[in-house]
Structure 1
């Protein structure tokens, strides 16, 4: 079983001083943060390749140009299908308030901006919630909320 590599980004904006996170409702039925595959010849130790894949997936799925600058990176492993293993490096990016999201109609059914509690309970897998909790703590420290 070959491990596939993906870059993902949790995008947030400040709403009345608190972070709200962008999730997309993929056509496969799950709500998730934007993530996408690395090139097949990618080096799993090269974080820049993961960042590029994360930024490209954000653009492809939401039409947002994000630039990952914050020093946050967590790994997440999941198995979407039997015999299929994915390793995702998750990053964080902030966008300005009231940005216009135009999701890809081919891949995204819907999208939404969620506060922590609502986003946290939207994730189906425990490991996604664990990484998201770490993201929220990081973002709140960045914003001086904790």
Structure 2
């Protein structure tokens, strides 16, 4: 079975003391995080940053070194089955403005509860839940 690897960022910003997560609306109808293919010789982290910047024009991202999760799923391209692995990092930005690439039709910054409901795929919901729990635990430890 062929394999493909991508990387992305669960991007958030804080507004009035509350975290808001960025979701992108893809032309096929689903809402998900910025992500894309890792290029030959590129690290997962650099690919995630590059893809996020290409898709949103947000380049000022502070990645959290303690968070890295991956999802795996199988999809078909014609008659070929492909194992897709997507590595996600967690990043914070102060930027609110998003300038979408041609790959997306809309975006939303949403508080966790609404972002969770709007995220289309179950594996993306699970990653978002892990990110939120991680940030809650991190903030409770620093108090």
Q: Which residues of structure 1 form unaligned runs of 5+? A: 43-48
Give the total of aligned pairs.
138
In structure 2, distance between residues paired with 1:70 and 1:2: 30
In structure 1, distance between residues paired with 2:18 and 2:38: 32
User: CA-atom RMSD, angstroms?
Assistant: 2.1
Alignment of 1:46-61 (within 5 A): 49-61=43-55
In structure 1, distance between residues paired with 2:15 and 2:137: 16
Bigger drift between 17-26 and 74-83 goes to: 74-83
- Indicate whether 1:136 and 2:132 are aligned: yes
| 1:11 equivalent in structure 2 | 11
Q: Which residues of structure 2 form unaligned runs of 5+? A: none
User: Does structure 1 retain, via aligned residues, the 8 Å contact 2:26–2:105?
Assistant: yes
- Indicate whether 1:77 and 2:72 are aligned: yes
More strand by share: 2
In structure 2, distance between residues paired with 1:61 and 1:67: 17
In the superposition, the TM-score normalised over structure 1's length comes to 0.84
Alignment of 1:1-146 (within 5 A): 1-40=1-40, 49-65=43-59, 66-81=61-76, 83-96=81-94, 99-104=96-101, 106-144=102-140
User: Does structure 1 retain, via aligned residues, the 8 Å contact 2:23–2:119?
Assistant: no
Instruction: Give the drift of 1:70.
Output: 3.4
